[in-house]
Amino acid sequence: MPHLDIEEICAQYGDTRVLDAVSLHIERGEVVSVIGPSGSGKSTLLRVLMGLTPPTRGTVRLEGSVIDYRSRASMRSARARMAIVFQQYNLFQNMTVLRNVTLAPIAVQKRGPLEAEQDAIRVLEKVGLGDKLSAYPDELSGGQQQRVAIARSLALRPEILLLDEVTAALDPELVQEVLCTIRALARDGITLLIVSHEMSFVREISDRVVMMDAGRIVEAGPASEIFNAPRVPRTREFMRRLG
């Protein structure tokens, strides 16, 4: 049974269909990366999974259980098992790193402050920021702030982590520190669904790569196949333009 099972998902912005019958099955512990041109629906897919953009048709299952995007209870249950990290850090500037990471576990998951703090310290150490607990976001580099955002999601103990272009807002010299953090997560066996334009990283880390265009999946397969011998002309064209 797939960990995450997406069947024929559609979504629209006004009259524009942005996802057109997208189906994707992800196994537990698998790292799947989604690539494609701007406007192809990659980020929208992640937003739909989290209930931030309502699907107009289709079904999403978490280990066989259907997510009802019209039900608050179903969404709460899904969001207890999935978390998303965006390209913008969205940290609270008036809170320390530790407070940023403990806020949701305490306020949303109703964990005790001591448990939440211990968990936050553990995940901050995992992302290499154990020495920044008392720092404020404006005292950190962009790469460090993005790692705090990843730690904030990990503190929710998700089974599945969705990463939406998490290096897009960073200066090139800061990208590698965030990618190193994601590599460590993959080694830990968390299920990852990644939208990224960092092609060398996608090629290195992914169990499978999904190519999207115009709201549809046009090809999916092992990273080596997608990069070295794509079967679909649209994928070959996209790879050729990347140089």
Q: Which domains does the chain have, with CATH numbers?
A: 1-81+161-169+177-243 (3.40.50.300), 90-157 (no CATH)
Euclidean distance between CA atoms 15 and 18, whole angstroms: 9
Give the mean pLDDT of 41-66.
96
- pLDDT value, residue 226: 96
Q: Can you tell me the mean pLDDT for 87-100?
A: 93
Identify the pLDDT of residue 168. 84
pLDDT for position 146: 92
Q: In what order do the strands lie in the sheet with 4-13?
A: 16-26, 4-13, 57-62, 65-66
- Tell me the per-residue pLDDT of 186-216, one tens digit each, with 9 for 90 and over: 888 899 999 999 998 999 999 999 999 999 9
Q: What is the pTM of this model?
A: 0.93
- pLDDT of residue 243 exceeding 80, the answer is no
pLDDT value at position 15? 87
- pLDDT band for position 176 (cuts 50, 70, 90): confident
* Residue showing tokens 């150490």: 125
Q: Tens digits of per-residue pLDDT, 122-136?
A: 999 999 999 999 999
Q: Best-predicted range by mean pLDDT among 94-103, 160-169, 176-185?
A: 94-103
Say if residue 97's pLDDT is above 80: yes
pLDDT, mean of residues 128-155: 94
On the question of pLDDT at 174 being above 90, the answer is: no
Q: Strand locations in the chain, DSSP E?
A: 4-13, 16-26, 31-35, 57-62, 65-66, 82-85, 160-164, 191-195, 208-213, 216-221
Q: How far apart are CA 195 and CA 199, in angstroms?
A: 10
pLDDT averaged over the chain? Answer: 94
